[in-house]
Amino acid sequence: MNFINILNHILRPLEWVVAQLLTLFHHALVTFGMTAGPSPAWGIAIMCLVLVIRICLLPLFLSQMRAMQRIQVLQPQIQRIQHKYAARKDPRSKEAMQREIMALQQRYNANPLGSCLPSLIQAPILCSLFYTLQSLPAIADGNAEPLGGIDHTMAGDIESSSIFGVRIADSFGTVACRSHASSSAWPWR
């Protein structure tokens, strides 16, 4: 199993959840009086979904920013330690330098991976949203199975919808994919 297949296997349940949430937001907007079928309600539903995802990911983003700030505050002290050991090239000196840097980071509760970990958690969620939107043309054309609450008809409605005079399908990059009617939006999917 290669990396792409593993990634698809991991993201597929997230894509299903994103599709379900998208249809839920659309149904709520229709309930509040917007028209069903191809309408701006789909664009607003996508905006609402993105907003909710960003709000849910906000604590991770703030954690990432705090971790980056802690590392930046320690940077002058880390550079002093590195300068102290710059002339020494033996393994013991390098090990001692790493120990001093790690002790400094532990003393100030600054983990260099702390700024990366939130991004690793956010990435699959945002990728699944992107892949869900990218799979709409294939679902609408019948080249892919329905996803979550999005069936062939609903995917066609989303594709045909426009907001502020711009087709929703054109706004998330499916224009280039339309010219290749036989291929899906992503060749590896």
Residue 67 covered by a domain: yes
Percentage of the residues of the chain whose pLDDT score is greater than 70: 89
Q: Which residue has the higher pLDDT, 181 or 19?
A: 19
Picking from 159, 116, 114, 130, the residue whose alpha carbon sits closest to that of residue 53 is: 130
pLDDT by residue (tens digit) across 59-73? 888 888 888 888 889
Within its chain, how far is the Cα of 184 from the centroid? 20
Domain that holds residue 154: 3-72+125-178
Domain count, the chain: 1
Cα distance between residue 99 and residue 92, in whole Å? 10
* Spatial separation of the C-alpha atoms in residues 150 and 27, rounded to whole Å: 12
Q: When comparing pLDDT for 7 and 178, which is higher?
A: 7
DSSP state of 150: B
What average pLDDT does this structure show over 123-148? 86
88 in any annotated domain = no
Q: Looking at the domain assignment, is residue 184 inside a domain?
A: no
